[in-house]
C-alpha cells in the first residue's frame, strides 16, 4: 500500500506540473482556464499542486483545450 501511495503522489505531481506548464505556455491564469472548463479555480489549483488529480473527463477537456495529448499531460517530460 505504501508503494501505491508513493506512485499516486508522483503521478499527481507530474500531472499538476504539466497542467501548470501548459497553462503558462498559453499565457493564461487559473481563473481563465477554470472558467473555460467550467470548474472552480480552487479545483484547478488543487490539480496543479498535486493535492488532487483530475478525472479522465477533465484530462480530456484539458488536453483538447490546450491542444495537447493526454500523454503530454501525464508523462514526466518537459512540454
Q: How confident is the model at residue 12 (pLDDT cuts 50, 70, 90)?
A: low
Domain boundaries, the chain: 2-74
What's the predicted TM-score (pTM) here? 0.82
Mean pLDDT of the chain: 89
Contacts 24+ apart (CB under 8 A), 71-78: 72/18, 72/22, 73/15, 73/18, 73/19, 73/22, 74/11, 74/14, 74/15, 74/18, 75/14, 75/18, 76/10, 76/14, 78/21
Q: Residue 77: enclosing H or E segment and its boundaries?
A: none
The tens digit of pLDDT for each residue in 22-50 reads: 999 999 999 999 999 999 999 999 999 99
Fold of 2-74: 434 Repressor (Amino-terminal Domain) (1.10.260)
Amino acid at each position: 500500500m505504501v508503494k501505491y501511495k508513493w506512485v499516486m503522489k508522483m503521478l499527481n505531481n507530474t500531472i499538476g506540473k504539466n497542467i501548470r506548464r501548459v497553462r503558462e505556455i498559453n499565457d493564461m491564469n487559473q481563473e481563465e482556464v477554470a472558467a473555460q472548463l467550467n470548474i472552480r479555480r480552487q479545483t484547478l489549483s488543487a490539480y496543479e499542486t498535486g493535492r488532487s488529480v483530475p478525472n479522465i473527463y477533465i484530462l480530456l477537456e484539458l488536453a483538447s483545450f490546450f491542444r495537447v495529448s493526454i500523454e503530454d499531460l501525464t508523462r514526466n517530460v518537459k512540454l
